[in-house]
Amino acid sequence: MTDTTKTASEQDRVLIFDTTLRDGEQSPGATMTHDEKLEIAALLDEMGVDIIEAGFPIASEGDFEAVSAIARQSKTSTICGLARANYKDIDRCWEAVKHARSPRIHTFIGTSPLHRAIPNLDMDQMAERIHDTVSHARNLCDNVQWSPMDATRTEHDYLCRVVEIAIKAGATTINIPDTVGYTAPRESADLIRMLLERVPGADTVIFATHCHNDLGMATANALAAVEAGARQIECTINGLGERAGNTALEEVVMALKVRNDIMPYRTGIDTTRIMNISRKVATVSGFPVQFNKAIVGKNAFAHESGIHQDGMLKNAQTFEIMRPADVGLADTSLVMGKHSGRAALRAKLKDLGYDLGENQLNDVFVRFKALADRKKEVFDDDIVALIQDQATSAEHDVLQLKRLRVVCGTDGPQEAEMTLSVEGVDHSIDATGDGPVDAAFNAVKMLYPHHARLHLYQVHAVTEGTDAQATVSVRLEEDGKIATGQAADTDTVVASVKAYVNALNRLIHRRQKSAPGADMKDVHYSSHA
């Protein structure tokens, strides 16, 4: 039984382990640039994340560089890198994380029958491998996490045996992954309880829970594991991650805060920073947050029905279990317009959680004025879209849209006249297509021939009204590599082309950066010495 009468400082601390930059970034299309990873790591550090899993150093030169740069810049968080169960991975991981004030090596191997078949090891051989690799990691670093991948589908006796071996070999954290999102809350709790009861030495380490959301139970499974004794939750911002994603950081943290009466555990997270980092991750990953997503969705605090609005006006608690300000949402929605000055914009940005430098502010101000000229009222969401748009394009991009004019009509194919700068040189063309967006995309293809295929094209209106800005997401695939671009504009076709060009720039950037044959997607779940 948990003691619900403890004061906040007496309550058990649950460590928050964020893997947005590793498990989240492995999501096809969510690839982030080096600088974006560093920015996100800094935000995670500032918001009080205990452990940041910064990447998979052996996966590529780029991953290694990012993990070591994050380790060097870390202030409070422990910086962790992932390594398969072999010495080469572990050594490379240590080389990357060792610069951190507090480094951690996280090594794993698949222990379920299906996963054991991949490296073709029998139970005894795998047990020996676990002993050797965890000992090796522990000789390098005194903070070692070990994960039996697919733990929730591993035979209990074997799981107890290998967890005991890992603890004896020096692991300080044992992570229990539900790799395929298969478990359910009661089972998740029973598994942790069983390990705590049966494994000798279990009380000397921290047990972690790592859940995937394939059945929509990742948050519930993580919280159930905590109630059974896990004291570390592995999660990602916005629940980013392969397939249906991972446990969402904002959900577990806010659940523990709002329902502290029945789940008396504390985290070190400053929840007022949640919205800001959620927007940042959505922008750089190219995975927009669904409108009705818990905590960070656009509608999470919107009360539109008449009954709700009436109740809210009388007493906010009628329908609101947490205050928008608790997650960093500005209470006011002060509308801005073309007469609003720099000071008002700066104050608004601060309210929204953006602390911009002078140059960035100047740039946003120019774009804000241009938007206010086209749009009577500029809402909070418009400003967020402006910032996100700025974040996705860079001066040194190979492709830049210079001019676009489309001709639409009920008769005949639509036409697009476009000027595109390719490596600093302007090129122009006229193209036709089945609709204005198709015509404009055809123009891009003619000006910059490529064989990337369109996987996703998504348009959202940022606010209401026919003058609303559109945010567009475009996902492209080229030779198995996926990149997503986003852009916003009051003109949907312009936003579409900018998003397309942005995705292309990301593919070009990846092409230029990636070391041949070294891509994380290829190495994730294979495990060899």
Among 143, 179, 188, 219, binds ligand KIV (CB under 6 A): 179
CA distance 366 to 342: 10
3-class state of residue 76 by DSSP: coil
Query: Could you tell me how many residues of this chain bind ligand KIV (CB under 6 A)?
Result: 9
The least CB distance from residue 288 to ligand KIV, in Å, is 23
The two structure tokens encoding residue 63: 């991953």
Instruction: Point out which span in 117-125, 171-179, 284-292, 487-495 binds ligand KIV (CB under 6 A).
Output: 171-179
Antiparallel, parallel or unpaired: β 173-178 and 144-149: parallel
DSSP secondary structure string for all residues of 216-231: S-HHHHHHHHHHHT--
Q: For 462-494, b where at least 16 C-beta lie within 10 A, e where not — what string?
A: beeeeebbbbbbbbbbbeebbbbbbbbbbebbb
Instruction: Point out which span in 20-28, 165-173, 300-308, 500-508 binds Zn ion (CB under 5 A).
Output: 20-28
Query: Could you tell me how many residues of this chain bind Zn ion (CB under 5 A)?
Result: 1
- Rg of the chain, C-alpha, whole Å: 25
Instruction: List the x/- string, 204-233, binding to ligand KIV by CB under 6 A.
Output: ------x-x---------------------
389 annotated to a ligand binding site: no
The least CB distance from residue 115 to ligand KIV, in Å, is 9
The least CB distance from residue 179 to ligand KIV, in Å, is 3
The one-letter amino acid code at 38 reads: L
CA distance 403 to 456: 24
Among 18, 23, 50, 477, binds ligand KIV (CB under 6 A): 23
Instruction: Point out which span in 173-181, 215-223, 256-264, 477-485 binds ligand KIV (CB under 6 A).
Output: 173-181
Q: Name residues contacting ligand KIV, limited to 109-148 (CB under 6 A).
A: 147
Q: Does 53 bind Zn ion (CB under 5 A)?
A: no
The one-letter amino acid code at 274 reads: I
Q: What is the dihedral of CA 341, 342, 345, 346, to 10 degrees?
A: -150
23 annotated to a ligand binding site: yes
The least CB distance from residue 230 to ligand KIV, in Å, is 14
CA-closest candidate to residue 110, choices 147, 66, 72, 138: 147
| C-beta of 177 vs 353, nearer to ligand KIV | 177
467 annotated to a ligand binding site: no
CA distance 117 to 413: 55
The least CB distance from residue 214 to ligand KIV, in Å, is 11
Sequence-ordered list of residues with C-beta below 8 angstroms from that of 277, at least 6 positions apart, any chain: 40, 43, 44, 47, 237
The least CB distance from residue 234 to ligand KIV, in Å, is 7
Long-range contacts of 43-47 (CB under 8 A, 24+ apart): 43/273, 43/276, 43/277, 43/280, 44/18, 44/20, 44/77, 44/237, 44/277, 45/74, 45/75, 45/76, 45/77, 46/75, 46/270, 46/273, 47/269, 47/270, 47/273, 47/274, 47/277
Q: Name residues contacting ligand KIV, limited to 74-113 (CB under 6 A).
A: 108
Among 134, 141, 149, 269, binds ligand KIV (CB under 6 A): 149
212 annotated to a ligand binding site: yes
Sequence-ordered list of residues with C-beta below 8 angstroms from that of 456, at least 6 positions apart, any chain: 29, 473, 474, 475, 484
| C-beta of 27 vs 147, nearer to ligand KIV | 147
147: partner contacted, choices Zn ion, ligand KIV, none (Cβ within 5-8 A by kind) = ligand KIV
Cα 372 off chain centre by:
31
Instruction: Point out which span in 92-100, 172-180, 284-292, 359-367 binds ligand KIV (CB under 6 A).
Output: 172-180
Among 14, 18, 22, 23, binds Zn ion (CB under 5 A): 23
The least CB distance from residue 108 to ligand KIV, in Å, is 5
Residues that bind ligand KIV (CB under 6 A): 23, 108, 147, 149, 175, 177, 179, 210, 212
Interface residue list for Zn ion (CB under 5 A)? 23
Binding residues for Mn(2+): 23, 210, 212, 246
